[in-house]
Each structure stands twice: as C-alpha cells, then as structure tokens.
Amino acid sequence: MSDLPVELRDQLSIDTPELVSLEYPVAGIGSRAIACLIDYTLQGIAGGLIVMVLAFIAMLVPASSAPSGGSVAKSSPSDAWATAIAFLILFLFQWGYFTLFETFWNGRTPGKRLLRLRVMQANGRSIGFLDALTRNLLRVADGIPGFYLVGLIAVFATRRSQRLGDLVAGTIVVHEQKIETPLWDGNGARHLTAGLTRVFPAQMARSSGIPADKVGRLTEADLELIESFSARKLDLPLETSAALAARLAQRMAAKMQTPLPSDVSADTFLDSLASDMRSLGRLAKS
C-alpha cells in the first residue's frame, strides 16, 4: 500500500552513533489517509461500545421519582454526575486514542501498524508523550475548514510531508522498512565517497609515528570517516565514543597493516593519523 516505489520516495537519513546510516521512506498522503481511516473506524466502533456500556449502566440506576401533582421529574445530582462522567470518558477517548497509542506503542496506532507506518522525531528518535500530544491536539487546526484541508495543503507543501501538527511537534511519519547502510565497507571506505580512491603519497609521517608508506595506504575516504567521527564524538556518551574510536582505529591499523601503538589511546591515535593524512595530502597537491 505504499504511495510510490521506495526509490521514488523522499528518504529520511539518520547517521547513528554506531556509524550506520538508517534510511526511512517518508510516508505520503495515501498511506497516511488509509491508516487514519482505519483508526477512525476503530475509534468509532470503540466509542459506540463505550456509549452502549454507559447506557446499560444508566438503565441499572434507579430513576428519580416524580413529585406529587403530576409535575415533571427533576434530575437528581447523581444523574448529572453520571452524564458528566460519560462525556468526560468519551472526550478523553476521542483525544487520547492517538496520543496514548503513539506514546506507548512506539509511534504507532493500530492503523499505522497495519500499514507499517510510524511517527518519529525528525532527528530519528522515538516520540514522547508531549510530542504525541502536541501533534494530535493540532488535528483541530489541520481539519479546518473540513476534510483536513489545511493538513492536506501542509503535507503537499512540505518536503517531508508534514501537517501542521508535525511541524509544531517536530515529528515525521515514515514507512517502517528502514534500510541500514554501513558508513564504511570492509576496506574502511565510506559508501558516499567510495569513488575517491586517490592514495596519499609515501612522504615522511609525523605525529602518529606510523611509517609514511603505511599511511599512504589510506584514502581520502578514510580521512573523511575519521573527521566525521571527530566532529561528533563530543556529542556521544564517553563509553560509546571510546568503543567507536577503538573500532575505527583497529580498522585503520588493519588497512595500513601495522599494529596499534600501545602508548596512546585510540582517540589520540586517530587525531594524529588524521593530521598526518592532511599533511601528506597537502604535499601531494604542491
């Protein structure tokens, strides 16, 4: 039931701390409309059952007796409370259906689950209660003046098919079939720059202590990978950063066919190696 083939849909690409790129096809208006129709149908059925249960309970409660003289019976306070509670339950169910399902079911409602859709934050993280509440409270604005006209215009006008609720909450609806692409292949080269194969010249290495001919086995893609890690390592937990640095250093050492130095950390080794590669690159261009 996807709107377009995967290769023709917009993609949400996320680089994880594990140096894996996750790509999610952005859900279009067709699949979202079908999922919404399913949810509204289930919501209507469940709401009807709630009304029937409340009506049955009301029948079991003794009615207020009519006063003498044939005057019309007045509602008792208990009747008023029962009516208020019934409307409150229906109101909470109406507004809580989408919010609670998306909060506790990892961005899914029954309709979205059937169509393999999910709501997530634009940065790829799972949505929380406030995100789900915000995007669903704004369904009222998206529905103005009827038939979700404002929401449809927003979906067609935005690059990631976001309605007003999504724009305010910072959320996006995607298809579940994520595509995992390693940011490096078995040789250490990133897929995005796999076509860059120029090897650095065998000049004298500097800060890493690795011989120049060994450093010359690395490519521009390897330098880009190290610099990408260095740019984001401060945003990662210390344990995750250290583990990734060790993995990356081992891959670079294997490609250079040289052992890792034992007197420095993997993080320091990568910084020094990147400095050597940049220096050798400048020498190659001169």
Per-residue pLDDT of 118-136, as tens digits, reads 999 887 788 999 999 999 9
Would you place residue 11 in the very low, low, confident or very high pLDDT band (cuts 50, 70, 90)?
A: low
Place of tokens 């929380």: 128
Q: Which of 34-43, 106-115, 148-157 shows the lowest mean pLDDT across its residues?
A: 148-157
Would you place residue 38 in the very low, low, confident or very high pLDDT band (cuts 50, 70, 90)?
A: very high
Mean pLDDT within 242-269: 86
Compute how many other C-beta atoms are within 10 angstroms of the C-beta atom of residue 5. 8
Based on C-alpha coordinates, what's the Rg of the chain?
30
Enter the pTM of the model.
Answer: 0.55
Q: Are the C-beta atoms of residues 207 and 215 closer than 8 Å to each other?
A: no
CA dihedral 57, 58, 59, 62 (to 10 degrees): 110
64 DSSP β-pair partners: none
Q: What angle do CA 175, 178, 179 make, to 5 degrees?
A: 140
Q: Kindly write down the DSSP assignment for every residue of 73-97, as one continuous string.
A: PPPPHHHHHHHHHHHHHHHHHHHHH
Q: Kindly write down the DSSP assignment for every residue of 214-226, as one continuous string.
A: HHTT-BHHHHHHH
Cβ contacts of residue 227 below 8 Å, gap of 6+? 274
Alpha helix segments (H runs only) across the chain: 29-60, 77-104, 110-114, 129-137, 139-142, 149-157, 164-169, 212-215, 220-232, 238-256, 266-285
- Cα 229 from Cα 121, distance rounded (Å): 23
- Cα 30 from Cα 161, distance rounded (Å): 11
For residue 115, pLDDT over 50 is answered with yes
Q: Prior bond to 77 cis, omega within 30?
A: no
Q: Which of 25-29, 112-116, 210-214, 236-240 shows the lowest mean pLDDT across its residues?
A: 236-240
Beta strands at 20-25 and 117-121: parallel, antiparallel or unpaired: unpaired
Q: What percent of the chain has pLDDT over 90?
A: 21
DSSP 62: P
- Cα 244 from Cα 187, distance rounded (Å): 16
- One-letter amino acid at 283 equals L
- Cα 6 from Cα 99, distance rounded (Å): 28
For 86, 92, 143, 180, the CA distances from 47, given in Å and listed in that order, are 11, 11, 20, 40
14 DSSP β-pair partners: 22
- The larger pLDDT score, comparing residue 228 to residue 109, is at 109
